[in-house]
Structure 1
Amino acid sequence: MNQIPNPRWTGPRIKHESTTAAPYGAITVEKVTPIIGAEISGVDLGNPTEAQMAEIHRALAENLVIFFREQHMTPEQHLAFGERFGTLHIHPAAPTEGGHAGLMIIKADRDSPRANGEGWHSDVSCDEEPPMGSILYIKQCPPVGGDTLFANMYAAYDALSERMKAYIDGLTAVHDGEENYRGTYANFGVKDRPAYPRAVHPVVRTHPVTGKKALFVNKGFTRRILDIPLDESTGVLAYLFEHMANPLFQCRFRWRENSVAFWDNRCAQHRAMWDYWPATRYGNRVTVKGDRPV
Structure 2
Amino acid sequence: MNVQVLDGQLPGKSIEIGEGFTLEPMTPTIGAVVRGVDMSKVPLGKTKDALRAALLDWKVLFFRDQDVSTEAHIEFARAFGELEVHPFAPHKEGYPEILAITHDKDRPGKENEWHSDVTWRECPSLGSILRAIEVPPVGGDTLFSDMYAAYEGLSDEVKEKIEGKVAIHDFAYFRGMMKKRGASDAEIEEMNKKYPMVEHPVVRTHPETKRKGLYVNVAFTQYIKGMERAESDALLQHLYAQAAIPEYQCRFRWEKNSVAFWDNRACQHYAASDYWPAVRRMERVTIIGDRPF
For normalisation by structure 1, the TM-score amounts to 0.90
The AA in structure 1 aligned to 2:5 is I
Q: Is the 8 A contact 1:170 1:202 kept in 2?
A: yes
Q: Indicate the residue corresponding to 1:212 in structure 2.
A: 211
Residue matched to 1:176: 170
Per-residue CA deviations over 1:241-273 (Å, capped at 9, x if unaligned) read 112311110000000000000000001000001
Cα 1:87–1:48 change in 2 (3 A) is closer
Counterpart in the other structure of 1:36: 30
Q: Which residue of 1 aligns with 2:81?
A: 86
What letter corresponds to residue 108 of structure 1 in structure 2? Answer: H
Contact 2:42–2:79 (CA<8 Å) still a contact in 1?
no
Partner of residue 7, structure 1: none
The amino acid that maps onto 1:231 is A
1:15 aligns with 6
Q: Secondary structure at the match of 1:277?
A: coil
Is residue 89 of structure 2 the alignment partner of residue 98 of structure 1? no
Once the two structures are superposed, the pairs formed by residues 129-208 of structure 1 within 5 Å of their partners are 129-183=123-177, 193-194=187-188, 195=191, 197=195, 198-208=197-207
Q: Distance in 2 between matches of 1:83 and 1:169?
A: 35
* Aligned mates of 1:42, 1:191 — CA distance in 2: 47
| Cα distance change of structure 1 residues 184 and 143 upon mapping to structure 2, 3 Å threshold | farther
Partner of 2:115: 121
**Paired residue for 1:281?**
280
Separation in 2, partners of 1:59, 1:286: 19
How far is 1:166 from its partner? 1.5
Distance 1:33 1:61 in 2: 15
Residues 190 and 138 of structure 1: CA distance in aligned 2, closer, same or farther (over 3 Å)? farther
Structure 1: runs of 5+ lacking an equivalent: 1-9
CA distance in 2, matches of 1:67, 1:190: 38
Partner AA of 1:281 in structure 2: R
- Which whole-Å CA distance do the structure 2 matches of 1:76 and 1:40 have between them? 21
SS across alignment from 2:216? coil
- SS of the equivalent of 1:288 reads strand
Change in CA separation of 1:52 and 1:181 when aligned onto 2, cut-off 3 Å: farther
1:64 and 2:55 aligned: no
Identity across matched positions, percent: 42
* Native 8 Å contact 1:106 1:116 kept in 2: no
Q: TM-score, normalised by structure 2?
A: 0.90
Task: Give the SS at the match of 2:125.
Answer: coil
- CA shift in 2, pair 1:110/1:180, >3 Å: same
- Compute the RMSD of aligned alpha carbons: 2.0
Moved more, 40-49 or 72-81: 40-49
Q: Which amino acid aligns with 1:253?
A: F
Aligned to 1:4: none
Q: Distance in 1 between matches of 2:260 and 2:287?
A: 13
User: How many pairs were matched up?
Assistant: 280
**Unmatched segments (≥5 aa) in structure 2:** none
Q: 1:30 to 1:191 in 2, by over 3 A?
A: farther
